[in-house]
């Protein structure tokens, strides 16, 4: 699946991010190439969410650098990072709960004023998650957990991103919908997007990913192709119980 | 209830004093009260709209709201003096100047107050309260505490006689401006991208960056709009009310009650509450001594607070 020699879209170079002086991630480096699905996995508290926050501008790394399409984005405001083409679905989704599904989607295309730039991703979103089309006038808060995750991904797609970052999209969701969301991620990549996926479900993630990084207590402890990581004895012991 | 008889009697006496036939006079007197209350209520609603907008958007109470009203009235006074043009035509300029003032106050004061690490709520209160005192002081310094009024305007002092009900033109105009402003606000909020951004920022200001919205920009425009709305109200009031440095105080107080009555942050709740307050005030002023005309408002407010603390239209 991996196309060798394609451009690096995202380059995170030895960033350290702290909360009130306490180190959450330390000296973390990852890279994501054009068209890849890259998974970042690790136990609770390993620093996966902090890594995504540091890329999206929600948190500012204390040191190191983040580059997107060749330019530095660490220190750039969050809304500008979205405008540059990184869409981020945080772990608690952050939908606008009392606004309708339609308004949440329309807000996703806030930066696009041309009708075509709004209609095209909307069409994609409805094909990806047909059930959203049936719930346009419902308040976002009335959706089930799985539907809310679908809406959050859809809102992110409405920004027409180049890179989509998802923080544990399978969290708190019925198993049936988890499959649907993993299938959707593969479809989204086929549309030409690059995906950085944070997950605790390593096994399912490795099935769709090209490469993986394993975080442990704020550090990258293992990196490689999905096959390499899946074959690693420590990983097999920790995640497969072998 | 012995005093109810007493009130009715006084109503009739007031009506009689104006005309002869008992029945029609009572009706006319009542209609006069209702319509006057309604018109003043629409102006109260317009004053409260900006306060409600800002509160709903960012949970900040602007304690300088009355001083914004005062500034708008002085701006109108000064512009009429300088340009010799009627206030009606100058309204857009005053509203525009007030928009700028609101935006500057957000960028220069409120934005920094919101960043306070300790006791942020208190810091915001003192920041806008302090601003109120500064603005009043500046008005006293530059404009003196004298009462001013704008003479010889198109509408000032003129009334419309509607079958025995007398309606002052400035208040009629004010009512129309208020309705137009609320219609405009409704269209802005429900039909535009910015309106949707405003609604989203109200919901979760920390999440709007995810869709590329700069919340600081939304806050700045929100403060501009809030101050611009009170600029419209001040423009109208400058036609029929005395202008002095302390003029905003009582109106601001009424506006706080209006916002609470309508439901904190509910802009259209403020419209309904403003009208209700105008009516209650007009009725109270008729049956109680004029000095006590605020009593009805606060009684109604307390009743609502006890029975329905989130206000009439609040959705907390
Ligand atoms: N807002 C925060 N304030 C303080 N500490 C935090 C905050 N968010 C996360 N942390 C800490 O940072 C570390 C990494 O957390 P996080 O990035 O959420 O991990 P993960 O997403 O892998 O579960 C944890 O020790 C967590 O307690
Ligand atoms: Mg997490």
Q: What percent of chain B has pLDDT over 70?
A: 91
Closest-lying ligand 1 atom to the alpha carbon of residue A218: 14
Q: Which residues of B touch A107 (CB under 8 A)?
A: 196-197, 200, 208, 211, 213
Number of neighbours of residue A50 by Cβ within 10 angstroms: 23
Q: Does A12 fall in a domain?
A: no
Tell me the pLDDT band of B3, cut-offs 50, 70 and 90: very low
Q: How many CA atoms lie within 13 A of B287 on its CB side?
A: 17
Alpha-helical regions (H) of chain B = 2-18, 22-58, 65-83, 87-105, 111-114, 120-143, 169-191, 193-203, 215-240, 248-262, 267-287, 295-307
Q: What mean pLDDT is reported for chain B?
A: 90
pLDDT of residue B304: 83
Look up the CATH number of the domain holding residue A124: 3.40.50.300
Q: Which residues of A touch B204 (CB under 8 A)?
A: 94, 96-97
Longest dimension (CA), chain A: 54
Q: Which of A19, A21, A95, A85 is nearest to A53 (CA)?
A: A19
B29 in Cβ contact with B19 (< 8 Å) = no
pLDDT of residue B286: 87
Q: What is the CA radius of gyration of chain A?
A: 17
Smallest Cα distance from A237 to chain B, Å: 37
Q: What single string gives the DSSP state of each residue in B223-257?
A: HHHHHHHHHHHHHHHHHHS-B-TTTHHHHHHHHHH
* B245-259 CB burial, b ≥16 within 10 A, e <16: bebbeebbebbbbbb
Closest-lying ligand 1 atom to the alpha carbon of residue A46: 22
Residue A53, pLDDT above cutoff 50? yes
Instruction: Give CA B1 to chain center in angstroms.
Output: 35
| Strands, E assignment, A126-204 | 163-167, 194-199
Note the ligand closest to the C-alpha atom of A59.
Answer: 1
pLDDT of residue B315: 60
Nearest CA to ligand 1 atom 5: A19
Q: Does A78 fall in a domain?
A: no
Read off the pLDDT of residues B149-187 as tens digits, 9 standing for 90 and up. 999 999 999 999 988 899 999 999 999 999 999 999 999
Q: Does A61 fall in a domain?
A: no
Residue B316, pLDDT above cutoff 90? no
Q: Does A175 fall in a domain?
A: yes
Which single residue is written with the structure tokens 């097999």? A236
Tell me the pLDDT band of B76, cut-offs 50, 70 and 90: very high
Which residue in chain A has the smallest CA separation from B211? A108
Residue A50 near ligand 1, beta carbon < 6 Å:
yes
Measured CA to CA in angstroms, residue A180 lies from A92, A163, A185, B154 at distances of 19, 20, 9, 68
Q: Does B268 fall in a domain?
A: no
Read off the pLDDT of residues A125-170 as tens digits, 9 standing for 90 and up. 999 999 999 999 999 999 999 999 999 999 999 999 999 999 999 9
Best of A18, A23, A49 to mutate for ligand 1, by most ligand atoms within 8 A of CB? A49
Q: Does A14 fall in a domain?
A: no
Averaged over A30-55, what is the pLDDT?
97
Q: Does A206 fall in a domain?
A: yes
pLDDT of residue A66: 98
Contacts of A54 (CB under 8 A, 6+ apart): A12, A15, A17, A25, A60, A61, A66, A74
Q: Does B67 fall in a domain?
A: yes
Element at A212 (helix H, strand E): strand A211-216
Residue A198, pLDDT above cutoff 60? yes
Calpha distance A56→A87 (Å, rounded) = 8
Read off the pLDDT of residues B255-296 as tens digits, 9 standing for 90 and up. 999 999 998 888 999 999 999 999 999 999 888 887 888 888
pLDDT of residue B5: 37
Q: The domain containing residue B93 runs over which residues?
A: 4-43+55-249+287-296
Calpha distance B234→B199 (Å, rounded) = 27
Q: Does A8 fall in a domain?
A: no
CA–centroid distance, residue A25 to ligand 2 (Å)? 12
The total number of structural domains in chain B stands at 1
B86 in Cβ contact with B154 (< 8 Å) = yes
pLDDT of residue A5: 58
Q: The domain containing residue A119 runs over which residues?
A: 35-54+85-240
Report the SS3 class of residue B139: helix
Q: Does B220 fall in a domain?
A: yes
Residue B2, pLDDT above cutoff 80? no
Tell me the pLDDT band of B77, cut-offs 50, 70 and 90: very high
Q: What mean pLDDT is reported for chain A?
A: 94
The total number of structural domains in chain A stands at 1
Averaged over A163-182, what is the pLDDT?
93
**Residues comprising chain B, all counted:** 316
Tell me the pLDDT band of B24, cut-offs 50, 70 and 90: low
Instruction: Enter the pTM of the model.
Output: 0.91
Q: Does A162 fall in a domain?
A: yes
pLDDT of residue B25: 56
Q: Does B312 fall in a domain?
A: no
């Amino acid at each position: 699946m991996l196309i060798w020699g394609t451009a690096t879209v995202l380059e995170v170079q030895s960033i350290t991010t702290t909360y009130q002086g306490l180190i959450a991630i330390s000296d973390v480096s990852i890279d994501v190439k054009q068209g890849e699905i890259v998974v970042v996995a690790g136990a609770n508290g390993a620093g996966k969410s902090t890594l995504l926050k540091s890329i999206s501008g929600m948190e500012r790394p204390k040191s190191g650098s983040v580059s997107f399409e060749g330019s530095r984005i660490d220190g750039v405001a969050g809304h500008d990072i979205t405008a540059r083409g990184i869409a981020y679905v945080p772990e608690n989704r952050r939908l606008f709960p009392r606004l309708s599904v339609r308004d949440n989607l329309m807000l996703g295309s806030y930066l696009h004023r041309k009708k075509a730039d709004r209609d095209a991703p909307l069409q994609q979103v409805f094909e990806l998650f047909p059930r959203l089309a049936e719930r346009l006038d419902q308040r976002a808060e009335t959706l089930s957990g799985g539907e809310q995750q679908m809406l959050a991904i859809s809102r992110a797609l409405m920004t027409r991103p180049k890179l989509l970052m998802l923080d544990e999209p399978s969290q708190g969701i019925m198993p049936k919908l988890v499959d649907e969301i993993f299938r959707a991620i593969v479809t989204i990549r086929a549309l030409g997007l690059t995906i950085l996926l944070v997950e605790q479900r390593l096994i399912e993630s490795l099935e769709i990913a090209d490469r993986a990084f394993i975080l442990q207590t704020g550090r990258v402890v293992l990196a490689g192709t999905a096959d390499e990581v899946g074959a690693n004895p420590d990983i097999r012991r920790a995640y497969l119980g072998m | 209830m012995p005093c109810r008889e007493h009130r009715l009697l006084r109503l009739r006496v007031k009506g009689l004093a104006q005309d002869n036939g008992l029945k029609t006079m009572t009706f006319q007197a009542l209609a006069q009260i209702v319509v006057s209350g309604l018109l003043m209520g629409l102006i109260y609603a317009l004053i409260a709209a900006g306060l409600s907008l800002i509160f709903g958007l960012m949970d900040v109470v602007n304690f300088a709201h009355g001083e914004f009203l005062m500034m708008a009235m002085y701006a109108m006074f000064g512009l009429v003096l300088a340009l010799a043009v009627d206030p009606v035509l100058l309204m857009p300029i005053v509203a525009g100047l007030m928009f700028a003032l609101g935006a500057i106050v957000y960028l220069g004061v409120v934005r920094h107050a919101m960043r306070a690490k300790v006791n942020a709520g208190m810091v915001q209160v003192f920041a806008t309260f302090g601003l109120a005192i500064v603005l009043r002081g500046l008005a006293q310094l530059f404009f003196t505490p004298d009462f001013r009024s704008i003479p010889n305007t198109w509408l000032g002092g003129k009334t419309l006689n509607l079958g025995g009900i007398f309606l002052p033109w400035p208040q009629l105009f004010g009512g129309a401006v208020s309705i137009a402003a609320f219609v405009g606000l409704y269209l802005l909020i429900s039909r535009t991208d910015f309106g949707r951004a405003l609604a989203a920022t109200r919901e979760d200001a920390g999440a709007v960056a995810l869709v590329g919205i700069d919340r600081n920009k939304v806050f700045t425009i929100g403060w501009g709009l809030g101050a611009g709305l009170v600029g419209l109200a001040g423009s109208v009031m400058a036609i029929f009310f005395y202008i002095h440095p302390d003029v905003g105080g009582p109106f601001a107080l009424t506006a706080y009650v209006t916002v609470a009555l309508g439901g904190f942050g509910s802009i259209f709740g403020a419209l309904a509450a403003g009208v209700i307050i105008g009516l209650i005030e007009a009725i109270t002023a008729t049956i109680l001594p004029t000095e006590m005309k605020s009593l009805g408002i606060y009684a109604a407010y307390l009743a609502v607070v006890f029975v329905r603390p989130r206000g009439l239209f609040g959705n907390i």
